[in-house]
Chains A and B, each alone.
Chain A
Amino acid sequence: DIQMTQSPSSLSASVGDRVTITCQASQDISNYLNWYQQKPGKAPKLLIYDASNLETGVPSRFSGSGSGTDFTFTISSLQPEDLATYYCQQYDNLPPYTFGQGTKLEIK
């Protein structure tokens, strides 16, 4: 199975800060990498798919990059409503379609 290592596991940042989360796959997954946002008590929401494609309706301050085994998720200017846990997920052809362990983002 492909393992996803996400870091950091938690971080605290101020409104307006640039925030970066990384995700590393245990083997090459091309660009089959998604990023989800889960706000407290809510269902996950797809933000970025195929490593760098912004889902419809998602603010442009969210972005993703990378391919192969190393991926990055960025919030260019943190907003108060971005308080959430963020997960990466790989969907290489064979299951399981594993998630990273999550990054809990707090607002200072």
Chain B
Amino acid sequence: EVLLVESGGGLVQPGRSLRLSCAASGFTFDDYAMHWVRQAPGKGLEWVSGISWNSGNRVYLDSVRGRFTISRDNAKNSLYLQINSLRAEDMALYYCAKGMRPVPAAPFDYWGQGTLVTVSS
């Protein structure tokens, strides 16, 4: 059974940093690209970032490029999102999602339950 479990969310002040993690199991992690997708309270889905199977291709939403860094550790079956210079508009539930292919451009066939990032002073 594929399982994606996010962690690392919490209440953070504007301008501070946070590191989200996603622990994956139930599939060969290093065969697939992975993604982060966020959902602000009461809003729709917004793709944030993706990373290829070997970390060779990392892609970002324009509004987070330079502040967010996606990474993965295939030895630990884990995906990460480093978020710096947090803004009010970054407040959302952050989902980890598995791609169907090794490259980022692919459907997302499994999703975690999300970790909530709250930005407030």
Query: Taking beta carbons and an 8 Å cutoff, which residues of A are in contact with B?
Result: 1, 32, 34, 36, 38, 42-46, 49-50, 55, 85, 87, 89, 91-93, 95-102
Contact = CB atoms under 8 A, between A and B. Distances in A.
A32 B47 contact: no
A97 B47 contact: yes
A44 B111 contact: yes
10 contacts: A32-B105, A36-B45, A44-B111, A46-B109, A55-B109, A89-B108, A95-B47, A95-B59, A97-B47, A99-B46
Interface in B39-65: 44-47, 50, 59-62
Contacts of A42: 113
A50 B104 contact: no
Q: Looking at chain B's contact residues, is the secondary structure mostly helix, strand, loop, or mixed?
A: strand
Interface residues of B, number: 24
Given A43-B111, A96-B61, A91 B95 contact: no
Interface in B94-121: 95, 100, 104-114
Interface of B: 35, 37, 44-47, 50, 59-62, 95, 100, 104-114
